[in-house]
């Protein structure tokens, strides 16, 4: 059926890709995940136990491992979140696990059957790396130091021998270490000065003894940074960065965390499903505020760290909606729709455009919680629209950012105006060019014409993700409502043309 382009619509969006001006590397860690002991994120989502009838390897679900392996998860942040500041690692090792509580998240029982070794095994199975959050809120520097000794020493210390006795004689690699979580709120309500005194102590004494992680490969210690737009977070960021600029030899940090969720009203959260264009456009407008926040905190960091040694690590981000009716409100269960796929693409593009400063992020959270990749129900598993965005973006991991110029135009609904189009480009290690284009407009398709400055497009192939409605979801019964499909492209006179479906995320590989 022929489609008519309304007269008010610019017929085409022209993209100009300048491969002669490569930018920074889009660090693969930008595609990191977060798995907290929260609801069914770990228990039932990852861990079912070796005795389960659900197919598993040493207690870890095979279906989930296979799905995560395919999206090349670079790192997983664990065990929290707020949970991290109440976690005591010794309760989760050895044959006898202590049964405790999880007061933050529903007050449920924490069996500690998924502990240090199970987490490291999970990482091995999915091919990922550890980002541990140590307990600053209710733990001690000694407890955290002993955890790292347990994990990383090769010496025959009591803790080293205990690790071997518990099944892992060789030391573990711990590339990333978070020192506290939201220490300005759930992590202990600290002032910036109080937190800084803790940071200095933890940074000094929580050592990584793994011989392979000295010098260049040293563990990256990530300090608590801002959590949104409030003035107190400006002060916090200033204090931590200012202290770091003048830091003594005896302490250091290699990253500053930032948290920012997309929520329109915390006290009256949007629904994750069963919404229309109004909520679609309002929510996407809200998510685009990530750009302002990243710019704002990058500017502060630039003042104290003009060489950009310290990455801004956005280790919690994503959509936060009202809990699904009938679910435990402490479990943060929500649906994941086409809107979330578009939201993920917009945020990943913001991070890519700031790749000189943003070198690691962790979407919240991996399974069954908030903006998840995967949802499970006993033996059933479904991949969400957000999962498919992460899959489509795999070629952007460690690719070199390439500038794309375009006039985005405007999509308007009621009093909300958004750019119609968003796009990024990057070159991978083999020299192949990748282009991502998002059409935010839920009603109009868009003709794209892409040209390369100083070279010709020879051919292009790609995939697009869209669905009938802005709130279309994948369910256990219908898992393929929002899945990527091939998109047809044409190349003429060295230029690439294609038509983007309304409300779609598209990734194209371009041969030049």
Residues within the interface to ligand AHR (CB under 6 A)? 36, 80-82, 181-182, 186, 316, 364-365, 370
Provide the minimum distance between the beta carbon of 143 and ligand AHR in the complex, in angstroms, as a whole number. 20
Q: Within its chain, how far is the Cα of 463 from the centroid?
A: 22
Query: Of 175 and 227, which CB lies nearer to ligand AHR in the complex structure?
Result: 227
Query: Of 104 and 220, which CB lies nearer to ligand AHR in the complex structure?
Result: 104
Cis peptide before 79 (omega within 30 of 0): yes
Q: How far apart are CA 380 and CA 411, in angstroms?
A: 38
Q: Enumerate the β-bridge partners of residue 460.
A: 510
- For residues 411 and 38, is the Cβ–Cβ distance under 8 A? no
- Spot the catalytic one: 36, 86, 118, 182: 182
Residue nearest to ligand AHR (CB): 81
Provide the minimum distance between the beta carbon of 92 and ligand AHR in the complex, in angstroms, as a whole number. 18
Provide the minimum distance between the beta carbon of 329 and ligand AHR in the complex, in angstroms, as a whole number. 13
> What residue has token string 């490291």?
120
Query: Of 337 and 371, which CB lies nearer to ligand AHR in the complex structure?
Result: 371
Burial zone of 75 (CB within 10 Å; 0-12 exposed, 13-18 middle, 19+ buried) = buried
**Which residues, in sequence order, are CB contacts of 51 under 8 Å at separation 6+?**
none
The Cα-based distances of 508 to 14, 61, 399 in angstroms read 15, 32, 14
Q: How many residues does the chain have?
A: 512
Provide the minimum distance between the beta carbon of 314 and ligand AHR in the complex, in angstroms, as a whole number. 12
- Spot the catalytic one: 110, 118, 316, 436: 316
Torsions phi, psi of 331, nearest 5?
Answer: -100, -5
- For residues 470 and 338, is the Cβ–Cβ distance under 8 A? yes
Cis peptide before 384 (omega within 30 of 0): no
Q: Enumerate the β-bridge partners of residue 508.
A: 435, 462
Provide the minimum distance between the beta carbon of 466 and ligand AHR in the complex, in angstroms, as a whole number. 28
Torsions phi, psi of 352, nearest 5?
Answer: -65, -40
Provide the minimum distance between the beta carbon of 77 and ligand AHR in the complex, in angstroms, as a whole number. 10
Q: Taking the chain, what is the end-to-end CA distance rounded to the nearest angstrom?
A: 32
Q: Is 316 a catalytic residue?
A: yes
- For residues 93 and 143, is the Cβ–Cβ distance under 8 A? no
Query: Of 81 and 311, which CB lies nearer to ligand AHR in the complex structure?
Result: 81
Query: Of 83 and 150, which CB lies nearer to ligand AHR in the complex structure?
Result: 83
Query: Of 364 and 435, which CB lies nearer to ligand AHR in the complex structure?
Result: 364
Rounded to a whole number of angstroms, the CA Rg of the chain reads: 23
Q: What amino acid positions are annotated as catalytic residues?
A: 182, 316
């Amino acid at each position: 059926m022929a489609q008519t382009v309304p007269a008010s619509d610019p017929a085409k969006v022209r993209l100009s890709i300048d491969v002669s001006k490569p930018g920074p590397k889009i660090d693969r860690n930008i595609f990191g995940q977060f798995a907290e002991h929260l609801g069914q994120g770990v228990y039932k989502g990852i861990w079912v136990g070796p005795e389960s009838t659900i197919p598993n390897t040493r207690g870890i679900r095979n279906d989930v491992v296979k799905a995560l392996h395919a999206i090349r998860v670079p790192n997983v942040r664990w065990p929290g979140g707020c949970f991290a500041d109440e976690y005591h690692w010794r309760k989760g090792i050895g044959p006898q696990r202590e049964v405790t509580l999880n007061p933050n998240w529903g007050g449920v029982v924490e069996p500690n059957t998924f502990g240090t070794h199970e987490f490291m095994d999970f990482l091995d199975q999915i091919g990922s790396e550890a980002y541990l959050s140590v307990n600053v809120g209710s733990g001690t520097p000694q407890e955290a130091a002993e955890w790292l000794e347990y994990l990383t020493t090769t010496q025959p210390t009591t803790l080293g021998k205990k690790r071997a006795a518990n099944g892992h004689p060789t030391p573990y690699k711990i590339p990333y270490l978070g020192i506290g979580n939201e220490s300005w709120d759930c992590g202990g309500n600290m002032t910036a000065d109080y937190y800084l005194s803790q940071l200095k102590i933890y940074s000094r004494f929580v050592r990584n003894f793994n011989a392979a992680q000295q010098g260049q490969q040293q563990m990256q210690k990530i300090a608590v940074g801002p959590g949104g737009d409030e003035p107190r977070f400006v002060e916090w960021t200033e204090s931590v960065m200012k202290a770091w600029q003048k830091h003594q030899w005896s302490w250091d940090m290699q990253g500053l965390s930032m948290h920012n969720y997309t929520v329109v009203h915390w006290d009256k959260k949007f629904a994750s499903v069963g919404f229309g264009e109004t909520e679609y456009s309002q929510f996407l407008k809200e998510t685009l505020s990530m750009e302002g926040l990243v710019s704002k905190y990058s500017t502060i960091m630039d003042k104290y760290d003009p060489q950009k040694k310290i990455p801004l690590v956005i280790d919690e981000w994503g959509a936060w909606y009202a809990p699904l009716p009938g679910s435990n409100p402490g479990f943060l269960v929500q649906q994941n729709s086409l809107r979330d796929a578009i939201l993920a693409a917009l945020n990943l593009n913001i991070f890519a455009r700031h790749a000189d400063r943003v070198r690691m992020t962790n979407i919240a959270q991996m399974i069954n919680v908030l903006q998840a990749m995967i949802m499970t129900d006993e033996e059933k598993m479904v991949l969400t629209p957000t999962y498919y965005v992460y899959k489509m973006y795999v070629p952007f991991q460690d690719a070199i950012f390439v500038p794309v110029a375009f006039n985005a135009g405007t999509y308007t609904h009621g009093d909300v105006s958004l750019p119609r189009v968003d796009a990024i480009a990057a070159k991978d290690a083999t020299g192949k060019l990748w282009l991502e284009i998002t059409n935010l407009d839920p009603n109009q398709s868009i003709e794209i014409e892409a040209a390369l400055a100083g070279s010709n497009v020879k051919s292009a192939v790609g995939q697009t993700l869209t669905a009938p409605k802005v709130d279309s979801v994948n369910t256990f019964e219908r898992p393929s409502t929002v899945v990527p499909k091939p998109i047809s492209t044409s190349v003429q006179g060295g230029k690439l043309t294609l038509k983007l479906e309304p409300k779609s995320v598209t990734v194209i590989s371009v041969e030049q």
